[in-house]
Chains A and B, each alone.
Chain A
Amino acid sequence: MVERVVMSLREARRDLTPTATLCLLIICLILLAAILAPFLAPHREGEILTTGSFMSPGEGLFLGSDYLGRDLFSRLFYGLRLTVVVSLTIALLAFLVGCSLGFLAAVLGGRFDMLISRLVDALIAFPAIMLALIVITALGPSIPVLVVTIAFIDSTRVFRVARALGVDIVVQDYVEAATVRGERFGWLMWHEILPNALVPLAAEFGIRFTYAILFISALSFLGLGVQPPQADLGVLIRENMQGLLYGTFTPLYPALCIAAITISINLLVDWYLRRNDAASPEDLQ
């Protein structure tokens, strides 16, 4: 098993294109920064270092100060950390719910499928941001509420993908062969269906992760997401908006972070899908 993983990793390395390498590098750096934020950040998150707002870089302030005179560079680490942790939790939760229900619907079919599919249709008909706004206004914008709400909305999209994949795989002869052998539900799910859905699901996970980042950042930017004194990237943009009036780049750095991570993930997913599309391995070049 281990040798197989090592082998496939080695193969993947061989197939890396320059763009994919760059994207992978950026994603690794960002994840590393998020994990090690308390060790890497030169200052504490809320520490006010100077009385000057929107100061230019220099004097130990690598990217200058923010609107309260805090170190923007340090705050970026913490903001990134919060954004990544929250988005990742959202994506994982959405997958757990969406995939389970999606595959269940595909395998069981019939009334269960009908019921849950129509329910999802109804939910998808609502604009995602509006649904989020309603729930958050009702329950208050705490991080658990945000995570559960966005994960719930996202899980409907994951459900559709998982169900479509499942329906395709369930009718394959190898699943039928297992069924006629007398295999139970668990085996069919874990050994026959899931392994064959992994590639598109992994790609979908990347996409869902970026959507979660964009969604939570947008909510924070609107003031409905993460609340100060906690700050994610969206909050960092919002609170430093006036900086633009003073001619500094302050709010652009967190924006750049969001762009870098979402674009990198997207391009990497593209590469991954193309690599695993057996029909056209040559299109990579």
Chain B
Amino acid sequence: MTGNVIDVKNLSVDAIAKRGERTPIVQDISFSVAPGRVVALIGESGSGKTTISLACLGYTRPGCAFKGGEILLDGTDVLQLDLVGRQQVRGVDISYVAQSAAASFNSALSINRQVTEIPQIRNLMSREDATRKAAALYGELDLPSPETIGRRYPHQVSGGQLQRLMAAMAMMCSPKLLILDEPTTALDVTTQIEVLQAFKNLVRENQTSAIYVSHDLAVVAQIADEILVLKDGRMVEYGPTETIITVPREDYTRQLIAAAHVMPEEVKQRTSRGEKGSHLLSVNGVSAGYGRQREVAALLDVSLDVRAAETVGVMGESGSGKSTLGRVISGLMTPWQGEVLLRGRPLAASLKQRTRDELREVQIVFQMADVALNPRHVVEKILGRPLAFYFGADRRAIEKRVGELLELVGLDPAFARRFPRELSGGQKQRVNLARALAADPQLIICDEITSALDTVVAEAILDLLVSLQDRLNVAYIFISHDISTIARIADRVAVMRDGEIVEAGPTAEVLQPPHHDYTDLLLRSVPDLKVGWLETVMEHRRQTGQQAAGN
């Protein structure tokens, strides 16, 4: 006995293809978690972090199989247990909090019913006891009205609350080990730190051990005692948090640190390349929203100017209306009032009334590269269609131009023959960008285009955007909730909250003190790559009485 809660020794997991070929996806992983400690698994997507954390439950995803190694949970090898034995362990000794709580809850059942399910089906607690324990946990997790929140349904609470409720579900049987798989990735920055703080208290007070899976080093630095850096299913570096982030030994770790979403020390004002005063696009007093009777307003009297060849960052939390702004400009949504001017000439409110040239000059790139490309079209068709549509290009011209476009976004022209599923996330986003460029636009609306990507890949996309702007003089409206990204790429920034622009101006002015209150809250919520940062921020929030929009 080592005294550790879990010892993972030389774990290897293979993916098995249809015809039985095995490809290793995780190789030779060893680490252990001592009681009350938090170990973080960190790496890009595809680095095997989720595979390892699921392996601790004795589970592999369909198409994968254990190849070797041991997972000792209090001395028993989980991998040697049969299915029934493993099921006894899951949810009771080890529990799992998935990335998207919204997707993990059943929307037809009340929250309490789901949170108290495991102790009930295992006959560990009566329903009354379970409900009482759940309420206690809700309180511990700083959820509002812990006695009654459990009676609500999943859609009646916010995303950050749901994530905490899922943690409560995981803690119901007081597990020895809690696995948190990217639990804050889908949340806004301001909510993220609250959830993070709640998790931290929970682990501390219950003396639970935890494995925390994330791709965000700055987040991990706040909660983990030790960090295991992964790349392509292998261990890169393993050590105490402080050591890893201050004196990393491996190049890859340094790369991760460089790409972490940290605010630059000093926000440098990018020099605008656009000619002064050459207005490209003006949004004048636009209001828009949903509902036949205009019940839900998403934009309220928003005005914004974009000059040629400049980047305007639009930032805010989810629900602040930033995507709606993009949709109104592109014509996907008809505003209730106000107008959008392109070079001084008003654009028709609806798509159907815009001329082909007006459509061509304003392009939009969507957040989810996966679903923005038609899965049944090859890249050549995806990029060729705008060429044929806007310029009436013939087959040979399309072939030539598609090759050029692919090279422009840093892809091999041979990719033209591939289907989207044969591309990685970063490559898909490049194709997405190439499709917008195919139209030879004056303005590209980038809607959270790096949010779904790993930090290192996102970094490359940002560099690409900048170099494209230098070469093609295209203007961007860069919509993002990630302030550190905006700080790096934008010439000017507009901060949105509840459908209104609360502050706007040159990047350096907006992002450096003195700030508007809301900008200040957003800025302070960007995790810093420092141990102890979280405590400082929470202290500041308590003093100033700031609160995230979600609560």
Task: List A residues at the B interface (Cβ < 8 Å).
Answer: 14-15, 172-174, 176-183, 191-192, 195-196, 198, 279-284
The 9 closest A-B pairs by CB, nearest first: A195-B376, A173-B372, A182-B359, A174-B374, A173-B366, A173-B371, A282-B63, A180-B330, A172-B371
Q: For chain A, what secondary structure do more than half of its interface residues adopt (helix, strand, loop), or is it mixed?
A: helix
In this complex, what residue of A is CB-closest to B375?
A: A196
When distances are taken between beta carbons in the complex, the residues of chain A under 8 Å from B62 are 279-280, 282-283
Contact at B389–A176, with CB atoms within 8 Å? no
Across the interface, B372 reaches (CB within 8 A) one of A174, A191, A280, A281, namely A174
Partner of A281, one of B63, B375, B390: B63
Asked if B280 CB lies within 8 Å of chain A CBs, one says no
With A and B bound together, what is the CA distance between A195 and B364 in angstroms? Answer: 23
Residues of A within 8 A of B16 (CB): 282
- B373 at the A/B interface (Cβ < 8 Å)? yes
Residues of chain A lying within 8 A (CB to CB) of residue B390: 181
- Using CB atoms, name the residue of chain A closest to B64: A282
What's the tally of chain B residues with a CB closer than 8 Å to chain A?
29
User: Considering the chains assembled together, what is the distance between the CA atoms of A178 and B373 in angstroms?
Assistant: 10
Cβ-defined contact, A192 with B374, below 8 A: yes
Name the residue of chain B whose CB is nearest to the CB of A175.
Answer: B374
Residues of B within 8 A of A (CB): 16, 18-19, 62-63, 330-332, 351, 354, 356, 359, 363-364, 366, 368, 371-377, 385-386, 389-390, 435, 439
Q: List chain B residues, Cβ under 8 A from A282.
A: 16, 18, 62-63
Interface centre among A15, A176, A178, A198, by most B CB within 10 Å? A176
List 11 A-B residue pairs with CB atoms under 8 Å apart, sorted by A's residue number: A14-B19, A173-B366, A177-B435, A178-B374, A180-B359, A180-B363, A181-B386, A182-B354, A196-B375, A280-B62, A281-B63
Bound CA span A213–B386, Å = 45
Q: Are A180 and B368 in contact (CB under 8 A)?
A: no
* Complex-state Cα separation, A191 to B377, whole angstroms: 9
The reply to whether A181 and B373 form a contact with Cβ atoms under 8 Å apart is no
B283 to chain A, nearest CB (A): 17
B373 surroundings in chain A (CB, below 8 A): 174
Which of A180, A192, A279, A284 contacts B364, CB < 8 Å?
Answer: A180
| CB–CB A15/B371 < 8 A | no
Q: In the complex the two chains form, is B63's CB within 8 Å of A177's CB?
A: no
Bound-state Cα–Cα, A174 to B366, Å: 9
Roughly how many angstroms separate A177 CA and B390 CA in the complex, as a whole number? 14
Determine the residue in chain A with the shortest Cβ distance to B369: A173
Look across to chain B and name the residue whose beta carbon is closest to the beta carbon of A171.
B371
The CA-CA distance from A14 to B332 in the complex, in Å, is: 44
**A174 to nearest B CB, angstroms?**
4
B359 contacts A181, CB within 8 Å? Answer: yes
Q: Give the complex CA separation of A281 and B439 in angstroms.
A: 38
- Give the chain B neighbours of A176 by CB distance below 8 A: 332, 366
Q: How many Å lie between the Cα of A196 and that of B351 in the bound state?
A: 24
Chain B residue contacts of A181, Cβ below 8 A: 359, 385-386, 389-390, 439
Contacts of B363 in A (CB 8 A): 180
- Which B residues lie within 8 Å of A284 (CB)? 18
Closest to A192 in B: B374
- By a CB distance below 8 angstroms, the chain A residues around B385 are 178, 181, 191
In the complex, which residues of chain A have a beta carbon less than 8 angstroms from the beta carbon of B332? 176, 179-180
In the bound complex, how far is the Cα of B359 from the Cα of A37, in angstroms?
58
Q: In the complex, how many angstroms separate the beta carbon of A281 from the nearest chain B beta carbon?
A: 6
B359 in contact with A281 (CB, 8 Å)? no
B181 CB → nearest A CB, Å: 19
A177→B375 contact, CB < 8 A: no
Residues from chain A with Cβ under 8 Å of B386 in the complex: 181
Q: A182-B351, A182-B354, A182-B356 are in contact. Are A195 and B18 (CB under 8 A)?
A: no
A180 contacts which chain B residues (CB < 8 A)?
Answer: 330-332, 351, 359, 363-364
Q: How far is the CB of B417 from chain A (nearest CB, A)?
A: 10
CB distance from B14 to the nearest CB of A (A): 13
Closest to A285 in B: B18
Known: A174-B371, A182-B356, A280-B62. A196 touches B330 (CB 8 A): no
Determine the residue in chain A with the shortest Cβ distance to B362. Answer: A180
Q: Could you say which residues of chain A place their CB within 8 Å of the CB of B377?
A: 191, 195
Distance between A30 CB and nearest chain B CB, rounded to angstroms: 30
**Shortest distance in angstroms between A186's beta carbon and chain B's nearest beta carbon?**
12
Bound complex: CA of A260 vs CA of B356, how far in Å? 56
- In this complex, what residue of A is CB-closest to B364? A180
Residues of A within 8 A of B351 (CB): 179-180, 182
A85 smallest CB distance to B (angstroms): 32
| A199, closest chain B residue (CB) | B376
A279 CA to B368 CA, complexed, in Å:
19
Q: What separation, in Å, do the CA atoms of A182 and B367 have in the docked complex?
A: 20
- Nearest-neighbour CB distance to chain A for B281, whole angstroms, equals 15
Q: Given the complex, which residues of A lie within 8 Å of B375, measured CB to CB? A: 174, 196
Known: A14-B19, A192-B374, A282-B63. 12 other contacts (CB 8 A): A173-B368, A174-B375, A177-B366, A178-B385, A180-B330, A181-B359, A181-B389, A182-B359, A191-B377, A195-B377, A196-B375, A281-B63
A279 partner residues in chain B, CB cutoff 8 A: 62
The closest CB in chain A to the CB of B439 belongs to: A181
- Residues in A with CB closer than 8 Å to B63 are 281-282
Cα-based distance from A178 to B363 in the complex (angstroms)? 11
- Rounded to whole angstroms, the CA-CA distance of A174 and B351 in the bound complex is 16
Could you tell me the distance in whole angstroms from the C-beta of A188 to the nearest C-beta in chain B?
11
A174, A279, A280 — most chain B CB neighbours (10 Å): A174
Instruction: Say whether, besides A280-B62, A281-B18, A195 and B366 are in contact (CB < 8 Å).
Output: no
In angstroms, Cα B330 to Cα A5, docked, is 38
Q: How far is the CA of A281 from the CA of B16 in the complex (A)?
A: 11
CA distance A123 to B394 in the complex (A): 48
Pick from A179, A196, A198: contact of B374, CB below 8 A: A196
A113 to B435, CA, bound (A): 32
Q: Which residues of A contact B330 (CB under 8 A)?
A: 180
Q: How many whole Å from A178's CB to the nearest CB in chain B?
A: 8
